[in-house]
């Protein structure tokens, strides 16, 4: 019985990872803010940084009342799912982190769908600028010699 629960959880985690890590192959994925670069799930500090980067992509947008109510519903739905995952004793730390990250990515995708075309353009510009900054920072890093 426990093995069955574990296999269901593992399949869900693997499915979320593949869903979130798949390159933009469909039109819906191309129009979305794009998948965040894959990272080591076990490390919470870089993970928190990635999430805050994406949150910054939505910062400063002027939402209509309808958008605000829809976004609140999305937040509540995601929060309820994340609370269930956080309390699940069957998951180890890596599995829990992967599922929480997956729900966060799905939340941002749903929020992106609520935006107007102009808001989507603004978000895409922020994403491009952030990625360009990250690439520039990678080029300027000096490799550590052992």
pLDDT over 80 (residue 106): yes
Domain-located, residue 29: no
Tell me the pLDDT of the chain averaged across its residues: 75
Domain-located, residue 31: no
Q: Which residues contact 42 (CB under 8 A, 6 or more apart)?
A: 93, 94, 97
Domain-located, residue 66: yes
Domain-located, residue 30: no
Six-digit token string for 117: 């075309």
CA end-to-end span of the chain = 48
Domain-located, residue 32: no
- Beta-sheet strands, E only, within 3-141: none
Q: Express each pLDDT in 32-86 by its tens digit.
A: 444 444 444 444 445 555 556 666 788 888 999 999 999 999 999 999 999 999 9
Domain-located, residue 146: no
Angle between helices 65-87 and 93-114 (to 10 degrees): 170
Range of the domain at 98: 2-19+43-140
Domain-located, residue 27: no
Residue 32: Cβ within 10 Å count = 20
Domain-located, residue 52: yes
Total domain count, the chain:
1
Angle ∠(60,61,67) on CA atoms, nearest 5? 140
């Amino acid at each position: 019985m426990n093995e069955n629960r574990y296999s269901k959880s593992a399949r869900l985690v693997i499915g979320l990872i593949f869903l979130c890590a798949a390159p933009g192959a469909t039109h819906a994925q191309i129009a979305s803010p794009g998948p965040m670069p894959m990272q080591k799930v076990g490390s919470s500090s870089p993970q928190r940084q990635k999430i805050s980067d994406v949150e910054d992509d939505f910062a400063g947008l002027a939402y209509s009342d309808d958008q605000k109510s829809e976004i609140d519903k999305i937040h509540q739905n995601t929060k309820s799912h994340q609370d269930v995952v956080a309390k699940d004793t069957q998951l180890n730390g890596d599995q829990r982190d992967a599922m929480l990250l997956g729900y966060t990515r799905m939340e941002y995708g749903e929020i992106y769908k609520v935006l107007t075309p102009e808001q989507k353009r603004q978000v895409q510009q922020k994403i491009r600028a952030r990625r360009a900054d990250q690439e520039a920072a990678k080029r300027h890093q000096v490799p550590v010699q052992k």
